[in-house]
Amino acid sequence: MSNDTTKHHQSAAENEKRQGFRVAAIQMASGPSVSANLEEAARLIEEAVSQKAQLVVLPEYFCIMGMKDTDKLAVREQPGEGQIQKFLSNTAKRLGIWLVGGSVPLASSEPDKVYNSCLVYADNGEQVARYDKIHLFGLQLGHEHYAEEKTIKAGNQVVAVDSPFGRIGLSICYDLRFPELFRMMNNVDIILAPAAFTAITGKAHWEVLVRARAVENMAYVIAPGQGGYHVNGRETNGDSMIVDPWGVVMERLPRGSGAVVATIDPEYQASLRTNLPALDHRILQYC
């Protein structure tokens, strides 16, 4: 290979790095059939990949929104086994992407509860991270009643994973209301916030919470949600979005199924952190 050709390839690689990389937040309105949900997820993932997404994040409960809360117990999987995890692994490898299952019901030590687990797969199909939802949603507001602690066992570990895209911090839905969780991730570059926010709480708080987590951590936030009316009668907020470290909503999808795709720019993020080194100015530290 000539020196000119070598320089051309090096220059192309450097340009690609400067231009950043494409990420996607998948929005769904999942139902009670796991197989149907996986089929829809596959279609939307491929839509994102057609837009050059290299990191694709599915919403919370992408694989099942049952007719009742206990339905997820019937489809729970052992770690490393089952059709949902096989789907995630195979899809990541087949498409050559990093793929995040927003939440998967995994077996716990309690027969009447599952872990609500966010699973991250590398482009070779290997699972490289698992986060079990720590903060469990509870709401008594008008006709809306939720009590996740009845069917979900809470996790107790903060999880961040190093990737080709930077350091990624994992969270699920209700976690967004607890900023100390994100401070404990130790300066992540990207925060994932797959969710199934209710229409009521989402309309009031979803955007402000997502943007706040981006600003205070000077991180990109990829926030895919369930969005629409579900067979079980539930309505979820949707408004999946990707937000930059300055708190700007780069792309969003208010309602319906689809892929929200945007370009993450590490150089822009680095410049913001240099010009406004707020993360270095912290005095109080969480234990």
pLDDT at 286: 58
Count the residues in the chain: 287
Residue 110 carries which side chain, given as an amino acid letter? Answer: E
Band (287; pLDDT cuts 50, 70, 90): very low
pLDDT reading at 9 higher than 50: no
How much is the average pLDDT of 105-113? 97
Confidence of residue 59 (pLDDT cuts 50, 70, 90): very high
What average pLDDT does the structure give for the chain?
93
What does DSSP say about strands 240-243 and 249-253: parallel, antiparallel, or unpaired? Answer: antiparallel
CA distance 134 to 175: 7
Q: Which two tokens stand for residue 98?
A: 């990093």
pLDDT class of 7 with cuts at 50, 70, 90: very low
Q: Is the pLDDT of residue 6 over 50?
A: no
Rounded distance between C-alpha atoms, residue 266 and residue 21, angstroms? 9
Per-residue pLDDT averaged across 147-176, rounded? 97
Per the structure block, which two tokens stand in for 161?
A: 């994973």
Residue 160 has pLDDT above 70, yes or no: yes
pTM higher than 0.85, yes or no? yes
Per-residue confidence band for 147, with pLDDT thresholds at 50, 70 and 90? confident
For the chain, give the secondary structure using H, E and C. CCHHHHHHHHHHHHHHHHHCEEEEEEEECCCCCHHHHHHHHHHHHHHHHHCCEEEEECCCCCCCCCCCCCHHHHCCECCCCCHHHHHHHHHHHHHCCEEEEEEEEEECCCCCCEEEEEEEECCCCCEEEEEECCCCCEEEECCEEEEHHHCECCCCCCCEEEECCEEEEECCHHHHHCHHHHHCCCCCCEEECCECCEHHHHHHHHHHHHHHHHHHHCCEEEECEEEEECCCCCEEECCEEEECCCCCEEEEECCCCEEEEEEECHHHHHHHHHHCCHHHHCCCCCC
Instruction: Please report which confidence band the pLDDT of residue 285 belongs to, taking 50, 70 and 90 as the band edges.
Output: confident
Q: Smallest Cα–Cα separation from 153: which of 133, 138, 170, 172?
A: 133
Evaluate the CA torsion angle 58, 63, 68, 69 in order and state its sign.
Answer: negative
- Whole-angstrom distance, CA of residue 150 vs CA of residue 202: 22
Give the residue, 138 or 266, on which the prediction is more confident: 266
Mean pLDDT over 219-225 rounds to 98
Identify the CA nearest to 269 among candidates 207, 206, 199, 187.
187
Check residue 4 and give its pLDDT: 52
Residue 157 in contact with residue 256, Cβ under 8 Å? no
Distance CA 274, CA 227 (A): 37
Residue 10 has pLDDT above 50, yes or no: no
Instruction: Compute CA 61 distance to the chain's CA centroid, rounded to the nearest angstrom.
Output: 11
Q: Which residue has the higher pLDDT, 8 or 109?
A: 109
Separation between Cα atoms, residue 81 and residue 250, nearest integer Å: 36
Catalytic residues: 60, 133, 173
Q: Is the pLDDT of residue 19 over 90?
A: no
